[in-house]
Structure 1
């Protein structure tokens, strides 16, 4: 147990720990229909996830001609309002997620969530799923506030990953995520990163360029042990 190479592990949420695309896709469609746009197939939401809910909705809207800034903001608020009440209807942990978290805990490894989802949503979902108490911290897309340009300090910026290391005790940390946002954030933070290729990936394993890649969470701990 003592020879595990990391003191803590940071997890992305959507597409890494949790399969969330059905609830996200339904929220996007609610907003699209409200704005007079055609809905997208819910399964296609896997291609929209990555940079957070705002980017997800913008991609869907832009594909149908786009909106002026203020009109888009109004539609985005409609989406958030719907998602706040319907964010854990179909969302579930991926296979082996709970077992991996239990094994890490048994080895004395602390874990945190680093997501571009608003912290409140992440906490709400993890609480509904009975998972919240497993984590030392939940760092959301809004947890670190905004930068000088008024943008939330979120992945691919390194700040959220560094914050996860801080809340876990400042020891060695590895990160796992399914998108280029995750890999870039980990790289910028100087942290080893594992690509979750079973998730909502926006590139191949080679394109993402992580230190390791897994096809199932069952492979995470062996992958970390090899780093």
Structure 2
């Protein structure tokens, strides 16, 4: 039996490992309501996800009439407070995600998460869905300090170090994910089912998957 080609498979969280769109959209719309803005559809909010909560809210405000820095800061806290109370109401792993993790672990591969979500929120939601204890490490958007979230390569380098080293690959759904992986010298796999800001083919990933059933074959081809 051939050894598996990767020692570490890292995953983005929102739009990759977990479908968090329902809970994130609810938090955005709760914040927008405080400014008497109309709610946005989940489908409209999905492309805003990936750069962190503040970035997501800024785009939501821009889509509903714009904002200044003071309004953005005030509503950012409103959004975070609401999300903290409602992290996992609608959130769940994508179809096939848990089976893919099982298969990777059966091959002796370490799995990790690198997300731009705040570390505290990420740990709690991963705990809620039963995945936190399966990870070799979990790095959030604030784990390494300002300026060290994706698309910086720093969290990918930290993921590899904290997982014990070896050949790594990163799976995500945004240009932040692919750019961070490539800056760290790591191949990227893009998810067509994620919260895409642009056509998945434009992300520049080495492979694209339509479902988690495609992940292991894609990894084996890359290897």
State the TM-score, normalizing by the size of structure 1.
Answer: 0.95
Q: Distance in 2 between matches of 1:78 and 1:35?
A: 11
Residues 133-172 of structure 1: pairs in structure 2 closer than 5 A: 133-147=133-147, 153-172=148-167
Residues 17-166 of structure 1: pairs in structure 2 closer than 5 A: 17-147=17-147, 153-166=148-161
Residues 200-211 of structure 1: pairs in structure 2 closer than 5 A: 200-211=195-206
State the 1:66 CA deviation.
2.0
Equivalence for 2:180 = 185
Stretch deviating more after TM superposition (27-36 or 197-206)? 197-206
3-state SS of 1:175 partner: strand
Q: Provide Cα deviations, 1:176-220, integer angstroms capped at 9, x if missing partner.
A: 001111111111111011011111112223211100001001101
Q: Structure 1 segments of 4 or more deviating over 4 A?
A: none
Q: Provide Cα deviations, 1:146-190, integer angstroms capped at 9, x if missing partner.
A: 14xxxxx21111111111111111111000001111111111111
| Contact kept in structure 1, 2:48 and 2:197, CA below 8 Å | no
3-state SS of 1:145 partner: coil
Q: Distance in 2 between matches of 1:92 and 1:55?
A: 23
Q: Distance in 2 between matches of 1:29 and 1:54?
A: 13
Equivalence for 1:224 = 219
State the 1:226 CA deviation.
0.6
Q: Distance in 2 between matches of 1:206 and 1:7?
A: 26
3-state SS of 1:187 partner: helix
Q: Distance in 2 between matches of 1:202 and 1:59?
A: 12
Give unmatched runs, 5+ long, in structure 1.
148-152
Q: Distance in 2 between matches of 1:196 and 1:61?
A: 27
3-state SS of 1:123 partner: helix
State the 1:2 CA deviation.
5.3
Q: Superposition RMSD on alpha carbons, in Å?
A: 1.1
Q: Distance in 2 between matches of 1:172 and 1:196?
A: 20
Q: Distance in 1 between matches of 2:29 and 2:39?
A: 5
| Contact kept in structure 2, 1:22 and 1:45, CA below 8 Å | no
Q: Distance in 2 between matches of 1:172 and 1:25?
A: 36
3-state SS of 2:111 partner: strand
